[in-house]
Chains A and B, each alone.
Chain A
Amino acid sequence: MARIIGGLTTSHVPSIGGAIARGDQETPYWKPFFDAFKPVHSWLAKEKPDVAVVIYNDHGLNFFLDKMPTFAIGAAAKYDNADEGWGIPVLPSFEGDPDLSWHIINDLVDHEFDLTMCQEMLVDHAFTLPVKLMYPDAGDHWPVKVVPVTINSVQHPLPTAARCYKLGQAIGRAVASYPKDLKVVVVGTGGLSHQLDGTRAGFINKEFDLLCMDKILNDPVALTKYSNRQIIEQAGSQGVELMTWIAMRGALQGHVSKVTSTYHVPISNTGGAVMLLANDDQPQAVAAE
């Protein structure tokens, strides 16, 4: 059976792509953020996941306002990155796992999670940069297959935190019922607090971000009590990307422990945050032994 071995969350700001392209990882500005991935690399090298389910928000590369799905999932054999208009390098294509995608789709819709299915899907920086951060030396061939899942963060009304947590739970159940022996890591990308638009642009709320990181580990249900207005007030208008962290956490249904976490302000306009959680003691894991 497939099992979810852990969950990773990370900020995904586009300037990470610029920093990688320039080789700025060791500069004082970027080092605290890139160093956060060293324990992640060790964990990935040890655990060797087969598939990454990446939960993120599209920023106007694949989806426009003509058709804006609240939740969408890729079911393609291959996903391409593309020009987003402001100049970060386009990364190599990603190999999908369409069988796992269709299993998740079938199971989710069966359980009343009716999401949009995409056999063509461009993946933007919010997808590509976290995978690049996980596998910086991958070159043209990524060592994991991928299943992209998007949550609308562009056009309000956005789904509630509670709904996003349930989405993660549904993905977790679907993966656990997949008959192939796969190790799956769930990735939630975005945040933490930031605001790009309006006269409050530049707003970062360290206290709230640290609270969220604690709750993601210890009490994720507490985060599902926040309304979107409260999240915008506390985390800024783009801080709603916290949804991807909450969905990731919903997918971890075993005993969850922290492998590593880092919080550093600022990266670009954002509270930069990275957290890796291991998901242990699943019934499937015991059955497999």
Chain B
Amino acid sequence: MDDLNGIPGTPVFQGEQAKKGYALNKMCFSFNDAANRAAFKENEDAYMKKYGLSAEHCAAIKSRNVLQLIEAGGNVYYLAKFAGIFGLNVQDIGAQQTGMSIDEFKSFLASQG
């Protein structure tokens, strides 16, 4: 099968990541539900404990850093639900990952047209 590793700047969510990030992704999947989003905001530590997050997962959640969350096994589709708690969209998380300001990132998107 395809070797999906080593594409520059491009994490590909394979079995290793799925294994590593399962609890983290399961917690983020729960954020489809507004009551769960509220429970997380109410007490982050208790909510992370309930889902059995590892120390690396917890540190990544605390950091609010998308690249660190991906490194911890997070999948971008579930992480987007975590970002949604803070009202962040895909331009916000794109800017964060690329080190651009939001306006710079939007200009970059438009420049490719």
Binding site for B on A (CB under 8 A): 15, 59-61, 64-66, 82-87, 154-157, 195-206, 227-229, 232-233, 236-238, 264-266, 268-269, 271
Binding site for A on B (CB under 8 A): 1-4, 7-15, 18, 22, 25-26, 29, 31-34, 37, 66-67, 70, 75-81, 83-85, 87, 89-91, 93-94, 97-98, 105, 108-110, 112-113
Whether B105 pairs with A83 at a CB distance below 8 angstroms is no
Given contacts A156-B12, A197-B70, A200-B10, whether A269 and B75 have CB atoms under 8 Å apart is no
Whether A197 pairs with B112 at a CB distance below 8 angstroms is no
Report how many A-B pairs have Cβ atoms within 8 Å.
Answer: 136
CA distance A86 to B34 in the complex (A): 10
Whether B91 pairs with A60 at a CB distance below 8 angstroms is no
Secondary structure type dominating chain A contacts: loop
Instruction: List residues of chain B with CB within 8 A of the CB of A271.
Output: 112
Instruction: List residues of chain A with CB within 8 A of the CB of B113.
Output: 204, 206, 264-266
Given contacts A60-B32, A65-B18, A155-B13, whether A196 and B91 have CB atoms under 8 Å apart is no
Instruction: List residues of chain B with CB within 8 A of the CB of A83.
Output: 32-34
Secondary structure type dominating chain B contacts: helix
Instruction: List residues of chain A with CB within 8 A of the CB of B98.
Output: 199, 201-202
Whether B10 pairs with A195 at a CB distance below 8 angstroms is yes
Whether A196 pairs with B90 at a CB distance below 8 angstroms is yes
Whether B18 pairs with A228 at a CB distance below 8 angstroms is no
A245 → chain B closest CB, angstroms = 19
CA distance A264 to B112 in the complex (A): 10
Whether B14 pairs with A85 at a CB distance below 8 angstroms is no
CA distance A86 to B25 in the complex (A): 16
Whether A61 pairs with B32 at a CB distance below 8 angstroms is yes
